[in-house]
Structure 1
């Protein structure tokens, strides 16, 4: 999925704090352009038929992919992944099923890693890292608790760049 959501924005900020060269995906040119203002090198529209080829050409190969929902496009990753690369997935609670050509993983030493919240100590370390690097969540829009349905509608539309926040 693309760079528009709050978790993807946090991933971008964390990767940049580690001095990574970051490339993003989105179905929106506006979101790619915004990610570039934050420090991403470039990006591709994942709805383009050859998006993975475009990504390989512009990046010369990707070492780490962060994706919240890779199931439908997982086999496409091998066109741009570097030998020994890692695919990290988070938040895929929808239990989507996928099939993959497993030989593409082990022949190129690509790791597929699922992650969740981590331990309390890891969370403390993350908070300290965020504070040290002055990383704050990007808020797209705040809604009063009474406007919760409007907030969910905003999420459903998928046009946000950053977090949709409910305030009680």
Structure 2
């Protein structure tokens, strides 16, 4: 079968190659992948910026397709069903945090950038009726991360003022959609004016260019602060967010694209009685609730562009340049 593997010896860091089709284990299903979406995690693997990397592993955490084979301990009624894959493996029983065995599909386990992928049957869910395979593939990792950040950790409620930073990526665009569907008033920040325009078209009430020296003052002038801020950057920006969060408000962090925090204004943190909360991915319960939420509100992930699997390098390059709005999707031949 055709697939995209990590290859540190290749000039692109990845390689389009052929491997033997996988065979499902007793409690696994084999999915013929119709669409698979990129995440920044895949690009970080390509850049050798992720721990425990191994050449030859098929990348990709997000995928959707048709079950074509089932292990001998799996109900055969699954065969023929159209499914999407939950890429969170071995979260554990603790809803508040993942166990040490937790890992994500696509490294070190073979992932979805292939014609076929085998996963435990408890990782597959039927595709919501309002989504096709392309948009279903764009949902799992980003949708799970956004839902847990916003709903479980952020406890968003109707009427809240919410700021989503870095609008344009998969998690951020879904966080905006989820927040709007929850009845929140949403603002965004981004490095691109055209992305801010798209956010406003989606229903955001305000957008700020975070490269502007005045963006924090502009955001402060727009109201009395934010009840909830969803952020993936951190670095030195944490103190800007502490200026913007309301007393008693919450900042939820799901990434650190700008690196670790260098210095935190502790006085702002404790005087505002603000909560600085970390989050990552989500539990099986979060995933099920996220799917129910998506179905109820008929939410559709934003897809920027679809690439043939054979042109994965072009999709990775587009992500590296931060040119996309929403998800970049790969399709195997015949997907």
TM-score of the superposed pair, with normalisation by structure 2: 0.48
Deviation at 1:97, TM superposition (A): 4.1
Q: Structure 2: any 5+ residue segments left out of the alignment?
A: 1-164
Q: 1:66 aligns with which of 211, 230, 244?
A: 230
Do 1:89 and 1:114's aligned partners in 2 also have CA atoms closer than 8 Å? yes
Q: 1:19 aligns with which of 183, 192, 195?
A: 183
Taking a change above 3 Å as real, the CA distance of residues 93 and 38 of structure 1, as seen in their structure-2 partners, is closer
Rounded to whole Å, the distance in 1 between the matches of 2:192 and 2:203 is 17
Aligned to 2:266: 102
Rounded to whole Å, the distance in 2 between the matches of 1:91 and 1:148 is 24
Deviation at 1:95, TM superposition (A): 5.7
Please list every run of at least 4 consecutive aligned residues from structure 1 whose deviation after the TM superposition is greater than 4 angstroms: none
Deviation at 1:144, TM superposition (A): 1.4
Do 1:84 and 1:110's aligned partners in 2 also have CA atoms closer than 8 Å? yes
Do 2:234 and 2:258's aligned partners in 1 also have CA atoms closer than 8 Å? no
Matched residue SS, 1:87: strand
Rounded to whole Å, the distance in 2 between the matches of 1:83 and 1:90 is 21
Do 1:23 and 1:59's aligned partners in 2 also have CA atoms closer than 8 Å? no
Taking a change above 3 Å as real, the CA distance of residues 94 and 23 of structure 1, as seen in their structure-2 partners, is closer
Do 1:16 and 1:39's aligned partners in 2 also have CA atoms closer than 8 Å? yes
Matched, 1:92 2:256: yes
Q: What's the CA shift string for 1:53-112, capped at 9, x where partnerless? A: 101112331111101112221111222211011111113388634321222111111101
Do 2:234 and 2:260's aligned partners in 1 also have CA atoms closer than 8 Å? no
Using CA pairs below 8 Å that are at least 6 residues apart, which structure has the higher relative contact order? Answer: 1
Do 2:234 and 2:255's aligned partners in 1 also have CA atoms closer than 8 Å? no
Matched, 1:147 2:311: yes
Query: Which structure carries more helix by proportion?
Result: 1
Instruction: Give the alignment's Cα RMSD to 1 decimal.
Output: 1.6
Question: What is the number of residues matched between the two proteins?
Answer: 168
Q: What's the CA shift string for 1:120-146, capped at 9, x where partnerless? A: 112101111111110111000111111
Aligned to 1:45: 209
Matched residue SS, 1:159: coil
Q: 2:298 aligns with which of 134, 140, 146?
A: 134
Matched residue SS, 2:185: coil
Rounded to whole Å, the distance in 1 between the matches of 2:261 and 2:208 is 25
Q: Structure 1: any 5+ residue segments left out of the alignment?
A: none
Do 1:56 and 1:62's aligned partners in 2 also have CA atoms closer than 8 Å? no
Do 2:304 and 2:324's aligned partners in 1 also have CA atoms closer than 8 Å? yes
Deviation at 1:167, TM superposition (A): 2.0
